[in-house]
Homo-oligomer: A and B are copies of this chain.
Amino acid sequence: MSVPIPRQIGRELLKLARRPKPAARSFLTSESRQFVASPVRTFNYRSAFRSAEQKASALRPSSSRRFGPLPVLAAGGGLLTALFTVFQPVSGSPVASPDDVPAVAPPEPTNVLANDGLPRYRLSEIKEEHGPKSSNPWVVYEDKVYDITDWIPAHPGGEVILRAAGGSIEPYWDIFSIHKTPYVREILEQYCVGKVHPDDLEDGRPRMDGIEDPFVADPVRSPRLRQLTSKPCNAETAGQDLAEHFLTPNEVFYVRNHMWVPVVEDATGDSHGITIELPDGDVRTYTVGELKSRFKQHAITAVLQCSGNRRKDMTEHAKQDEWAAWEGVRLRDVLADAGFSFENPPEEAQHVQFSGLEAYGASIPIRSVLDPRGDVLLAFKMNDLPLPGDHGFPVRVIVPGTVAARCVKWVNKIVISDEESSTSWQRRDYKCFGPNEVKDLDWDKYKSIQEMPITSAITRTRLKPEPESKAKAKDAAGNHLIQIEGYAYSGGGREIQRVDISLDNGKNWDQAKLVDDTALERGSKAWCWKRWTYEGAVPLEHEHEGDDEHEHEHDEAKTTFVVKATDDAYNTQPQCYKSIFNLRGNLATAWHRVEFDLAKCHERVQAAHKKESRGGEMRE
């Protein structure tokens, strides 16, 4: 029986990290999985593991783990009680000494089989004795049992691993598929302490009915949201909701969760706490109620844009870029209150790390917080309503001008640090490699996506209807008039100043009219998308005029509409995807092209007339 020696963990990890990198299959998130069906690629764990190793060795002064108090996280609908162990390595607040932790004697092995020498454990006893509250948590994988006690401080994903304690880790790995690699299996194997009792196995595996679904308390979503995945929820707004609203309504605002929606018992959310940790080790905790009452509240309107926005443009149109009005307190004000010096920020204050209740974590460079016009908020409200569960209730971070992945929801911890958040969402998921860089990726080579590059898209095209008639409007030369609308956006608060439209695939250009939304825009910089409209004549090369103008048109004219935008730093979009291709399909910001087929458009127009008696339109 192989029981790992805690002091060896660091060395083992380092050894692992330095090994030649074997191919790893599919570490994609559910989102990127939509993009590339079954890629084979390699990557290295160096970053996460170097960090994990440092953490592990720094935190083992006495080869023991020190636990802080064990707060009850949540119990929702009587169905789910999840307990998280809050680990406080650098905190100045009192922690229980190792001696305070009651020693838990391992249960007597139910049975020891001769052929492998490993003890067998009942699932019930594992659940009872080695759950998240236990000082000696275990997990089950396939038919084996693992004591993960000594691994937790080194776990790159942090304490979320405790969520799985007392049961099978498989459903979590189904979510965090990054674990399905030989590396992780190798690490896990070091902690094997036994096997599941044969009475709990079906076809050699434990019965899965004992596993609590972490998504059970996820909110009910609007049927108008187009759900791409449900666990975690990844849903996008339908085209008509985008086109018809200025601010996207909360219930149809796109949802991009990395895990489940954490349940907060307090209906107001006011008792939820956020812990702030400064570079000098000072820790201060604020409740949401305190934040609301003690600090001035600010409102901004800002786009939240997913780095995968327009990813499907490489094949078809998709959209995860919407904006809302956010209200809350400035992170600057809270940090200043907590003792952070904006006059003389310490050298090591380089990043602001955020963690959320469900263990998601990310960070931003500190520049946005140092900038008095950076408008980084701890937001409680979304479009004048309390944050919905899917959007971070009771409080989320809003970093305007920055990719939505940094706007951590359900935030409960903020750390000012000299390094980025160590999560894979920070250090690996949101990066773009060169178009040729498809294997042996060095994840440390490029920076995490923060400010978004300029982009634009066509959200709607339609033949201009003639008022009070079924006819389509034409110009003097007999060309059909087309109406196009869309949005443009650039990160970092850079304002869109020009939107160029081409009706002939980039040969000729004209300028769209920028919609004046200034009355609704709030904030120190241009944090919102810019809506635009365009009306022009479609140049038709082969138009056949029938006898009856309105019924017998058989135009075969096809063309491509193109949009590209320019921001106030005069950055513009790349012309095509080939030059910015990257495996994950991040930052698909090439000129947006929409095929236009007049014949099809006519059919739809006629169908629409018959059905709805309204002007024809074509959605892309």
Listed in ascending order, the chain A residues whose CB lies under 8 Å from chain B are 342, 367, 370-373, 432, 434-437, 446-447, 449-454, 491-492, 494-495, 497-498, 500, 506, 508-511, 525, 564, 566, 568-576, 579-580, 587, 589
Contact A510 B572 (CB under 8 A): no
Contact B451 A509 (CB under 8 A): no
**Contact among B497, B569, B576 with A491 in the assembled complex (CB-CB below 8 Å):** B569
The docked-state distance in angstroms from the alpha carbon of A454 to that of B500 is 19
List residues of chain B with CB within 8 A of the CB of A575: 574-576, 579
Contact A500 B572 (CB under 8 A): no
Q: A434-B500, A509-B434 are in contact. Are A568 and B370 (CB under 8 A)?
A: no
Contact A511 B437 (CB under 8 A): yes
Q: A373-B371, A575-B576 are in contact. Are A568 and B447 (CB under 8 A)?
A: yes
Contact A447 B367 (CB under 8 A): no
Q: A371-B370, A371-B373, A575-B574 are in contact. Are A435 and B500 (CB under 8 A)?
A: yes
Q: What's the least CB distance linking A350 to chain B, in Å? A: 11
**Contact among B434, B495, B572 with A453 in the assembled complex (CB-CB below 8 Å):** B572
Q: A371-B373, A434-B500 are in contact. Are A495 and B342 (CB under 8 A)?
A: no
List residues of chain B with CB within 8 A of the CB of A437: 511
List residues of chain B with CB within 8 A of the CB of A576: 575
Contact A342 B372 (CB under 8 A): yes
Q: What's the least CB distance linking A450 to chain B, in Å? A: 7
Contact A579 B564 (CB under 8 A): yes
List residues of chain B with CB within 8 A of the CB of A492: 492, 569
Closest B residue, CB atoms, query A564: B579
Contact B570 A452 (CB under 8 A): yes
Q: A367-B373, A579-B575 are in contact. Are A569 and B452 (CB under 8 A)?
A: yes
Closest B residue, CB atoms, query A451: B569
The docked-state distance in angstroms from the alpha carbon of A420 to that of B436 is 44
Q: What's the least CB distance linking A12 to chain B, in Å? A: 32
Contact B568 A454 (CB under 8 A): no
Q: What's the least CB distance linking A548 to chain B, in Å? A: 36
Closest B residue, CB atoms, query A500: B434
Q: What's the least CB distance linking A547 to chain B, in Å? A: 37
**Contact among B449, B506, B508 with A570 in the assembled complex (CB-CB below 8 Å):** B449
Instruction: For the A-B complex with A436-B509, A572-B580, A574-B575 known, give 5 more contacts whose Cβ atoms are closer than 8 Å.
Output: A371-B373, A452-B570, A509-B579, A573-B574, A575-B575
Closest B residue, CB atoms, query A366: B373
Closest B residue, CB atoms, query A432: B570
Contact A497 B447 (CB under 8 A): yes
Contact B367 A525 (CB under 8 A): yes
The docked-state distance in angstroms from the alpha carbon of A579 to that of B452 is 21
**Contact among B436, B452, B569, B580 with A510 in the assembled complex (CB-CB below 8 Å):** B436
Contact A587 B564 (CB under 8 A): no
The docked-state distance in angstroms from the alpha carbon of A572 to that of B587 is 11
The 9 closest A-B pairs by CB, nearest first: A451-B569, A575-B575, A453-B571, A453-B570, A571-B571, A436-B509, A371-B371, A447-B568, A570-B587
The docked-state distance in angstroms from the alpha carbon of A569 to that of B452 is 6
Closest B residue, CB atoms, query A568: B447
Closest B residue, CB atoms, query A510: B436
**Contact among B447, B587, B589 with A495 in the assembled complex (CB-CB below 8 Å):** B447
The docked-state distance in angstroms from the alpha carbon of A250 to that of B276 is 48
Contact B451 A568 (CB under 8 A): yes
Q: A436-B509, A447-B495 are in contact. Are A370 and B370 (CB under 8 A)?
A: no
Which interface residue of A453, A579, A580 has the most chain B CB atoms within 10 A?
A579
List residues of chain B with CB within 8 A of the CB of A367: 373, 525
